[in-house]
Structure 1
Amino acid sequence: MMVFNFPQKVLFKHCDPAGIVFYPRYFEMINDVIEAFFADVVKAPFEEMHQHAAVPTAEIQCKFLKPSRHGDQLNLKLEALRVGRSSFELTVDAYCGDEHRFSARSTIVYVNENGRPTAWPDAMRIVLENNIKGDGA
């Protein structure tokens, strides 16, 4: 399994008045890493995919472990867990150096232009399956 790394500097726009990340901004960061994964690894950039399909989030769970502050350099790590007929389960963990900041588990669903779940196109499914976390990982 390949871990997809995505660097993210904590910007002013991510923070509340106390200078720490306002928790909904983490969900935007999670979406950013998923979008980058699809562009860079799956070779299905959202701007192309969204002309005929989409991958909305069906479920997300998140544990906020330590606060992140304006200027922190985060590394978001995406790992693929499971590919279903139309679903894709993944985790995203954020670190600042060795410090674990948040852990998220999410399921996205491939939907057609009518918003109905549909099977992954073969080329996308192959790439997703090739990135599944193995038993020994």
Structure 2
Amino acid sequence: MPLTFQHHHQVVFGDCDPAGLVDYPNIYRWMDGRFQRFLHRYGGHGAVCDALNAVGLGMTETQARYRRPLRDSDALTIRMEITDWAAKSYRLSHRGYVGEDLAFEGIEGPALFEMREGRIRAGQVAPLKTLLESPPET
């Protein structure tokens, strides 16, 4: 069963370009922000890395498709799922909605990075999956 998380964002004028449309880099920022907010349930990015003896959880792949324009005052709901666990990676699937309308969808391919032999390398993500499937902090 995928791990899911939902968050709401009110689009403001500062998110937009001069034409009043959301600058596309903001969508990547919002996608990453959902995952970081999800990690707050477990003490945040730093606490998760400390618990797993990792130097970070970083992206190895990102992609987004824009389905409708986003504008100032849009009430955006972003749904994230963690799926497709492999030995050294997993997938974050994001969908942004205004009402029932799909505004964007994106994927991120993060990995867990650790220090080995004096270099940062991708590590096994099974301990991360175990941690994220445990009850979050209260």
Same fold (TM over 0.5): yes
**Could you tell me the TM-score, scaled by structure 2's length?**
0.80
Pick aligned residue for 2:67 from 42, 50, 65: 65
Q: CA deviation at 1:48?
A: 3.0
Residues 104, 4 of structure 1: CA spacing in aligned structure 2 closer, same or farther, 3 A cutoff? Answer: same
Q: Which residue of 2 aligns with 1:97?
A: 99
Q: Which residue of 2 aligns with 1:39?
A: 40
Q: Which residue of 2 aligns with 1:20?
A: 21
Q: Which residue of 2 aligns with 1:3?
A: 4
Q: Which residue of 1 aligns with 2:57?
A: 55
Residue identity in the other structure for 2:125 = W
* Percentage of pairs with the same residue: 22
Residue identity in the other structure for 1:79 = E
2:108 counterpart of 1:106: yes
Residue aligned with 1:125, SS: helix
Q: Which residue of 1 aligns with 2:31?
A: 30
After the TM superposition, which parts of structure 1 deviate over 6 Å for at least 4 consecutive aligned residues?
Answer: none
2:130 counterpart of 1:126: yes
Residues 77, 36 of structure 1: CA spacing in aligned structure 2 closer, same or farther, 3 A cutoff? Answer: same
**What is the Cα-based RMSD across aligned positions, in Å?**
2.1
Tell me how many residue pairs correspond in the alignment: 127
Residue identity in the other structure for 2:45 = F
**CA–CA distance in 1 between the matches of 2:76 and 2:120?**
33
Gaps of 5+ in 2: none
Give the number of the structure whose alpha-carbon radius of gyration is greater: 2
Q: Which structure is higher in strand share?
A: 2
Residues 63, 10 of structure 1: CA spacing in aligned structure 2 closer, same or farther, 3 A cutoff? Answer: same
**CA–CA distance in 1 between the matches of 2:9 and 2:114?**
30
**CA–CA distance in 1 between the matches of 2:45 and 2:13?**
26
Q: CA deviation at 1:117?
A: 0.6
**CA–CA distance in 1 between the matches of 2:10 and 2:46?**
23
**CA–CA distance in 1 between the matches of 2:87 and 2:55?**
15
**CA–CA distance in 1 between the matches of 2:76 and 2:36?**
17
Residue identity in the other structure for 1:58 = T
Residue identity in the other structure for 1:27 = Y
Q: CA deviation at 1:115?
A: 2.8
Q: CA deviation at 1:121?
A: 6.2
